[in-house]
Amino acid sequence: MKIISSEVHVALDYLTVAIFALAPTLIGLSGTSAIISYVLAIVHLSMTLVTDMPFTPIKIVPIGLHALVD
């Protein structure tokens, strides 16, 4: 069942990456919490950049697998 379009999904993915990357600064995370937040930003960005969706440069991962990982 498709609730949102691929365009909306990829926009939300990029927003999620920005939130993970900025969270340590914006809400004062430090130590392990900050590291986890940065790692999640990198992993989520990596997955988004290789998923077969609009506005992504490399289309290796099918959107269904991406949604399953989400």
Q: Which residues pair with 61 in a beta bridge?
A: 51
Q: Which residues contact 6 (CB under 8 A, 6 or more apart)?
A: 53, 54, 63
23 close to 29: Cβ distance less than 8 angstroms: yes
Q: Which residues pair with 51 in a beta bridge?
A: 61
Question: Can you give the pLDDT of all 70 residues of the chain as single tens digits?
Answer: 578 888 898 999 999 999 999 999 999 999 999 999 999 999 999 999 999 988 889 999 998 888 888 7
What is the model's pLDDT at position 66?
Answer: 85
The domain spans of the chain are 6-69
Buried b (16+ CB within 10 A) or exposed e, 19-41: ebbebbeeeeeeeeeeeebeebb
